[in-house]
Amino acid sequence: QQPVQSPQAVILREGEDAVINCSSSKALYSVHWYRQKHGEAPVFLMILLKGGEQKGHDKISASFNEKKQQSSLYLTASQLSYSGTYFCGTEGNSGYALNFGKGTSLLVTP
């Protein structure tokens, strides 16, 4: 089942922070985050495997609450290069096949 992402879109000024949420109605084994820039292929950001685990990638970090079946992506001190569409992918019992959300469009302006 497709996870639900919120918000659908967000506009930031450079240096501001943002949070993107991803929730599922099914038990999750892992959550994957990808970023897709316009006209390009999605690029892997990070994977979270355990409940409450937090990971970081430059100034982008994420958490995964296994019990709540939710994950959040945190972008701090946003840069222009952060603009793009962020997708969360969730893995249930089907091995490594991911169900992706509809994406969150992020635009960082000068």
Partner 1 sequence: GAGVSQSPSNKVTEKGKDVELRCDPISGHTALYWYRQSLGQGLEFLIYFQGNSAPDKSGLPSDRFSAERTGGSVSTLTIQRTQQEDSAVYLCASSFTGYEQYFGPGTRLTVT
Q: In the bound complex, what is the minimum distance in angstroms from residue 106's beta carbon to partner 1?
A: 15
* Residue 40 CB partners (closer than 8 Å, separation 6+): none
Q: Measured between alpha carbons, how far is 108 from 110 in angstroms, rounded to an integer?
A: 7
Q: Measured between alpha carbons, how far is 16 from 106 in angstroms, rounded to an integer?
A: 12
Q: In the bound complex, what is the minimum distance in angstroms from residue 34's beta carbon to partner 1?
A: 8
Nearer to partner 1, 82 or 87 (CB): 87
Nearer to partner 1, 16 or 99 (CB): 99
Nearest to 32, CA basis, from 80, 91, 104, 77:
91
Q: Measured between alpha carbons, how far is 20 from 40 in angstroms, rounded to an integer?
A: 21
Binding residues for partner 1, per CB under 8 A? 2, 30, 32, 34, 40-44, 47, 87, 89, 94-103
Specify the 3-state DSSP secondary structure of 52.
coil
Nearer to partner 1, 41 or 110 (CB): 41
Q: In the bound complex, what is the minimum distance in angstroms from residue 97's beta carbon to partner 1?
A: 5
Nearer to partner 1, 16 or 55 (CB): 55
